[in-house]
Amino acid sequence: MSRLIVVSNRVPLPKKDGAPPTGGMAIALKAVLKKQDGFWMGWSDNEVAPDGPEPTPRDDDGINYQLVYLSKNDLDEYYHGFANSVLWPIFHGRPDLAEYSEARRAGYYRVNKRFAELLKPLLRDEDVVWVNDYHLIPLAEELRKLGCSNRIGFFLHIPWPPADIFSTVPKYDTLLRGLSCYDLVGFHTDYDLSNFLECLARQKQGKIVKERFHEAYGNKFRCGVFPISIDTANFESLAENAARNERLQETYARIAGYDIVIGVDRLDYSKGIEKRIVAFRDFLRRYQPRVNKTLLLQITPKSREIIPAYKAVEKDVAELVGCVNGEFGTVDSVPVHYINASIEQSDLAGLYRKARIGLVTPLRDGMNLVAKEYVAAQNPLDPGVLVLSRFSGAARKLDAAMLVNPYDTEEMARTMEEALVLPRRDRIDRWTAIMTVLREHDVYKWCGDFLSSLNEHRAGHSNE
């Protein structure tokens, strides 16, 4: 029986307080690895000296983790540098924020080569390798150079940009060539796949050799669309149980009488948090009776603070929150509650359930699981309304949400009011339509569909 080898930038080890890691991908893949032999490889989350100790495996909760140690220089060039200061902004449509250097590009490929050199000796002939996300695009090519003939799949968790934007990555064709070395390349949406194929076409690559199979740079591979989702049933249960959470009961008492609008995002320029706060200000100005009766709860854990663009977002958001609270606040309350901390998933589910509006308005997002979590947490008899950016991957399937243009703050303000006055029957209809999708296509189906397609790929090639 083949083993499943999962590779990602970080490994989802339990947190220091003993709580399990959260996130749809971690939940699904850990469930698979408990049923199927294999291991998960990734960075240990610790910096080490360049001549530091060799990585050691770790077993936790029935799963084997193969740890990769990275030096400060590796992290500066590979992680903070090329991955998050070049690929992340460009893939999210912000080439103006990219900070490229040849040293960063070299560090990105150096770390991918290190991953390959550590992984190759651990592989058996029948192992199936699943590589996740933009940090490790070149990994299959590096493994092929070492003689690896295993099935290798890749899934991109962020959007793939249009060809004109993608081509702003210096030496971008090396990334395309790297992806051609996988057996299967997966994307969230048909838009992402279309953009990727257009990039290949611009390079006069990507010839279709048969249905869903492409040939580029001398390699044959398959592409597919696999929208990631959440553990829908578990999140429904978390939200239902929140009613018995004593800590949340204190919070509920403090916000009683207010209509809650909730936003949950990492502090990132792609999330559109600044425009969301401006839209909420416009909403309060336009609909005066809502003042002192509506709260925006914006939960925004900080991230990647070492990168200048993130520091700028942090400053801008804090200033906007201060302006809105200064304009509409009173001695007793302020309209925007801004929290720079992570919230336990059980508490978050309870807060979602109390919110009349889930305001999910990224400027660009691969999927956005917050949108799905918000809907799954609602009371079926009296659900809130999802207001969703049409530029999120989630909008491709969740079209029963109230879709908005996140660049149009006046439209967002109007839509918030429409959501608050929407009759309960209409809210239930919208919720039911979305929940039908979430129950049929949860994170386990995402995982199963990708692995099934990856297994099909070898059969397709063996018949050629």
Give the catalytic positions in this structure. 157, 365
Q: Which residues contact 44 (CB under 8 A, 6 or more apart)?
A: 11, 55, 67, 68, 69
Yes or no: say if 261 and 294 are a contact pair by the CB < 8 Å rule: yes
Yes or no: say if 137 and 5 are a contact pair by the CB < 8 Å rule: no
* Chain CA centroid to CA 224, Å: 18
Q: Name 262's bridge partners.
A: 297, 358
Residue 200 amino acid letter: L
CA-to-CA separations, 214 to 137, 201, 279, 399, in angstroms, rounded: 18, 11, 44, 31
**Within 13 Å, how many C-alpha atoms sit on residue 122's CB side?**
23
**Which candidate, 224, 235, 191, places its Cα nearest to that of 366?**
191
Report the C-alpha gap between 3 and 122 in whole angstroms: 11
Q: Are strands 385-389 and 357-360 parallel, antiparallel or unpaired?
A: parallel
Report the C-alpha gap between 300 and 273 in whole angstroms: 9
Q: Which residues contact 186 (CB under 8 A, 6 or more apart)?
A: 153, 154, 155, 156, 223, 224, 225, 226, 450, 453
CA-to-CA separations, 291 to 285, 287, 295, 386, 409, in angstroms, rounded: 8, 8, 9, 21, 18
Report the C-alpha gap between 394 and 430 in whole angstroms: 15
Yes or no: say if 112 and 136 are a contact pair by the CB < 8 Å rule: yes
